Amino acid sequence: MDIKIESSWKEHLKEEFEKQYFTDLTDFVRSEYTAQRIYPPGRLIFNAFEKCPFDKVKVVILGQDPYHEPGQAHGLCFSVPDGVDFPPSLQNIFKEIKNDLNIPIPKSGNLERWAEQGVFLLNATLTVRAHQAGSHQKKGWETFTDNVIHRLSNSRDHLVFLLWGAYAQRKDELIDSRKHLVLKSVHPSPLSAHRGFFDNHQFSKANEYLIANGRKPINW
């Protein structure tokens, strides 16, 4: 199957695109875009891959679903386009970065600037129905993105994985912690951030690890 995705990822994932589950997933997603309002726009489904090629990845942040309200989702977990109000979790991410690294809260919630530095912003499920959180879960996306995580763990060295919340933390079984740094905390959601997301200093820890392994730190 010819999937429009950044070339380095296409090379690493080409076997995945030929599997039956992915054919079934593609059929489902196409039918949903025809019949429903789906986010993100179809051209941005693989935006995280486009903005951060396989060999450029330094940090992986895992989300669960795209935002499901109008104008928010653009294919990068936790990120919103320029001019869109910050969702609560993103507000808390910026608060912790300010606390950790004394970086002022930015005017834009567009995290493409992170992706271009090597932060791979991956949602476990890459599409969602408008106003219906979780509506495209268990359709095949998780099989695909689990394989993405596993490929990164196996093929790369000294990556940082940021696993926020119970859902993301379950992905640690896909990651070889002997060759990568895995940092876990509660989710940045207002429901949980006060229980360990604030003051976790994961952004500085990630940069310290990158520097120790000869890589340029992220300008968060």
Q: Which residues are catalytic?
A: 65
Q: Which residues of 192-211 are buried (b: 16+ CB within 10 A; e: fewer)?
A: bbeeebbebebbeebbebbe
Terminal C-alpha separation, the chain:
37
Q: Which two tokens stand for residue 204?
A: 């500085």
Strand 181-185 and strand 119-123: the pairing is unpaired
Tokens 């429009």, residue located: 4
Which of these, 219, 215, 217, lies nearest to 55 by C-alpha position? 215
SS3 59: strand
Peptide bond into 40 cis (omega under 30): yes
Q: H helices of 77-140, where?
A: 88-101, 112-115
Q: Residue 132's beta-bridge partner residues?
A: 129
The neighbouring-strand residues paired with 61 are: 121, 162
The letter for the amino acid at 32 is: E
